Amino acid sequence: MRLPLAITSFLTVAGPAGAQEIASAYTELNPMRDCTVYASAAEGDGDWSNLVCSGYKGFPVFIHCSDARESLFYGFPPQGRDLAWESFSAFNNAGPKIEWRVERDGTGEKPFAAIHRWFVSANPEEPDRQIEVLVVHKVGRIGEWQGCAVGYVVATGNRDANAQARRIADDKARSFACGSDQPVTAASSIPLPDFTRSE
């Protein structure tokens, strides 16, 4: 498991003696280097593959690839259940760096949210023209097993995108109920591309 590149952007959460810190930690994601394929399409069964990758301090990242689209899960998934498919309708791929929002207290540190930049095709006939979106995910923890997208921030044309994504992560991710709560969306002058979730 690879170590994070850096920990920056510390924020002390005011409170009583057991005050928590929230920090950003960054890891790289290179599927050719950091991931292992654990399932893939047989001949004549389409074009798909499932990968498990190194993440942050033992928290894995799962990537499901199908038809030039990706669906990611961060952390520990529910046992005995297929992961939900969450992806943009248009062709897309996730970027090479993940920002983890990590809470620290006297007992250690745990990531509770992942912020990941996605590149989404704006037009199938112009594959090089892409919209960048920051997707904020709840991280699956041992004993909780819930992970899903809690917010989307259009980054193209949005100078405040990173700060918006961190606010969504810090305010929403820990209490977000996957499958029932509705994700937060923050568009810029460019609308959010269509995004789908299926169990």
Collapsing DSSP states into helix, strand and coil, what is residue 122? Answer: coil
Amino acid 19: pLDDT: 61
Rounded to two decimals, what is the model's pTM?
0.88
Neighbours of 137 (CB within 10 A): 28
Q: Give the tokens for residue 9.
A: 């952007």
The average pLDDT across 10-33 equals 73
* Rounded average pLDDT over 26-31: 96
Please tell me which residue, 132 or 46, carries the higher pLDDT value: 132
Q: Measure the CA dihedral 70/58/27/75, to 10°.
A: 40
Average pLDDT over residues 163-178: 97
- DSSP annotation of 170 reads H
User: Which SS3 state, helix, strand or coil, does residue 184 take?
Assistant: strand
Residue 180 has pLDDT above 70, yes or no: yes
* DSSP states along 16-53: STT-EEEEEEEEE--HHHHEEEEEEPPTTS-SEEEEEE
Q: How far out from the chain centre does Cα 70 lie? A: 11
Q: What is the pLDDT of residues 115-151, one digit of tens each?
A: 999 999 998 777 678 999 999 999 999 999 999 999 9
